[in-house]
Amino acid sequence: MQVNNNVSGPVRVDHLRREQAEPERGAANVHHASSHIRSEELQRLIDGVKELPEVRNDVLARVSERLKTGFYFTPQAADQVAQAILRTENGG
């Protein structure tokens, strides 16, 4: 890689160091400026998510049963996994 320096003299960077050392004006108050009002739709979605159980017992039971019966070791399961991977890779 070739770097061309078109500057005819030394470059002064003292002012850059001074600016970096000084905190930005208003930076100390950033955490106080984060007040906001949630939209009704967003609040409804948040409330809905909070009502969901952390562990989906129905899903765990279905997976457990499939493991016991060997479902995940079938060509059908392999095909489903492959199709799901292709959908996610293709943005679908």
pLDDT at 69 over 70: yes
Domain membership of residue 59 (yes or no) is yes
Residue 72 lies in a domain: yes
pLDDT at 1: 47
Total of domains in the chain: 1
Asked if residue 53 belongs to a domain, the reply is yes
Helix (H, G, I), strand (E, B) or coil at 9: coil
Q: Would 16 be classed as within a structural domain?
A: no
Is 77 contained in some domain? yes
Residue 78 is which amino acid?
A
Q: What is the pLDDT of residues 20-47, one digit of tens each?
A: 555 555 555 455 555 666 688 888 888 9
- Distances from the Cα of 52 to the Cα of 30, 55, 57, angstroms: 33, 8, 11
- Whether residue 55 is predicted with pLDDT greater than 50 in this model: the reply is yes
With cut-offs at 50, 70 and 90, classify the pLDDT of residue 83. very high
- Residue 92 sits in which domain range? 37-92
Whether 67 is in a domain gets the answer: yes
Model's pTM, two decimal places? 0.34
Q: Kindly report, residue by residue over 1-22, the tens digit of the pLDDT.
A: 455 555 555 656 566 555 455 5
32 located within any domain: no
- Report the C-alpha gap between 31 and 37 in whole angstroms: 16
Q: ∠ at Cα 73 (67, 78), nearest 5°?
A: 120
